[in-house]
Amino acid sequence: MLYVKAPAKINLTLDVLYKRPDGFHEVEMVMTTVDLADRVGLKNLNNGQILIHSSSNFVPDDQRNLAYQAAKLLQDTYNIKDGVSITIDKQIPVAAGLAGGSSDAAATLKGLNILWNLNLSIDELAELGAKIGSDVSFCVYGGTAIARGRGEKIEHIATPPSCWVVLAKPTIGVSTAAVYGGLNIDGVEHPNTMQMRQAIESKDYELVCDTVSNVLESVTLKLHPEVAVIKEQMSRFGADAVLMSGSGPTVFGLVQNKARVSRIVNGLRGFCDEVYAVRMLGERDILA
């Protein structure tokens, strides 16, 4: 069994620029990986089947699963006759805005590249990932990047200043389609992506905190007031910056003072079952 780590991501900024002719939205966002990860195990099968086993009942075990789609894409593209048993040990909350499914797909691409001796470069794997989902290309690389297009055009940038990240996910599901559908692009304050880049490159933690922004927040907060409650509580307990990740519902707080982390986590547990305190990773994966 070959094991590959599949880290979660957060959006330090998320901007939606316009709706494209193909129906997708043109985005510009700064994403970075955090030290909360699924563990994807891959075992070769000589019968051509793709089997999914997950520790979570909420993860589909068929062609709806992005890891399944990653394996099938490699089979079809490179005429692979072997199959694979994919075991996903879920640590990232499901449907949380943290790219858990996309990261599992990216880990599957990277692992099968080794298992099936494909010798593909990381750029080739990222290009394949773009065919599976918007966040998969970023998850192939990991680290910190500005993502544009549908999220598949990746520009790598420096590692953010070191800090703790407190994640809190309420027990609700959010429809990404409904959130994007409810967005009035002209009526929102757009993030300053270039200022975030400058803050990260100059390791200016305070400016990073001042610049976090997500245009989808206004829609999700209206649809799901629970998310607003978690944001308010996280700020009240002392996080330096608080933002929703992706289309939600997970909220994250940036914290530099370690002593404050446990206070925030303990305070949030009264409002939310799934609370995690992790470090920001921010550095690119190397291709094994």
Q: Give 143-194 pLDDT, tens digit per residue.
A: 999 999 999 999 999 999 999 999 999 999 888 889 999 999 988 899 999 9
CA-closest candidate to residue 14, choices 149, 176, 212, 164 = 212
Share above pLDDT 70 across residues of the chain, in percent, rounded to a whole number? 98
pLDDT of residue 214: 98
- Burial class from Cβ neighbours inside 10 Å (0-12, 13-18, 19+) for residue 142 reads buried
Residue 99 tokens read as 């790219």
DSSP state of 146: E
- 108: number of Cβ within 10 Å: 32
Q: Is 153 a catalytic residue?
A: no
Say which of 9, 90, 169, 231 is annotated catalytic.
9
Mean pLDDT of the chain: 95
**Annotation marks residue 258 as catalytic:** no
- Reported as a single tens digit per residue, the pLDDT across 130-140 is 999 999 999 99
Q: In this predicted structure, what is the pLDDT of residue 288?
A: 39
Instruction: For residues 60-84, give the mean pLDDT.
Output: 97
> Residue 105's pLDDT is what?
98
Burial 217-226 (b: 16+ CB within 10 A, else e): bbbbbebbeb
State the catalytic residue, choosing from 15, 38, 135, 285.
135
Task: Write the single-letter amino acid at 42.
Answer: L
